[in-house]
Homo-oligomer: A and B are copies of this chain.
Amino acid sequence: MQNLDSIGTQIRNLRETAEMPLRKLAALLDIDQSTLSKIERDERKPNAQIIEQIAKIFKADKTALLVTFYSDIVAYEIQEENSFSEILQVAEAKIEYKRTKAKKSK
């Protein structure tokens, strides 16, 4: 089954498994250690570029991390809506429709 951990938790897991201090990972990513601390506790969002670097550093699956990253954002955004399920369904249809159009116009 898919991993429902937050992006922060996943980053922390990767880092702790590698027994790397937060300070050191922050240095590798060239961000302040307090910022990384907040990212790992989901107080602040990383950007897609940081996720890519983390995947590289820990040889982790970049796509899986991006899925975690974006699903966090999407879930947070609509978690209060009762029709969240329909929202997601329509969003998917919209993206698919857009891609179909894009393909045709080639």
Interface residues, chain A, with chain B CB atoms under 8 Å away:
2, 4, 63, 66-68, 70-75, 77-79, 81-95, 97-98
Contact = CB atoms under 8 A, between A and B. Distances in A.
Contacts of A67: 83, 86-87, 90
A-side binding surface: helix, strand, loop or mixed?
helix
Copies of this chain in the oligomer: 2
30 contacts: A2-B89, A2-B90, A2-B93, A4-B90, A4-B94, A4-B97, A63-B82, A66-B83, A66-B87, A67-B83, A67-B90, A68-B90, A70-B77, A70-B81, A70-B87, A70-B91, A71-B87, A71-B88, A71-B90, A71-B94, A72-B94, A74-B87, A74-B88, A75-B91, A75-B92, A75-B94, A78-B95, A79-B98, A85-B92, A88-B88
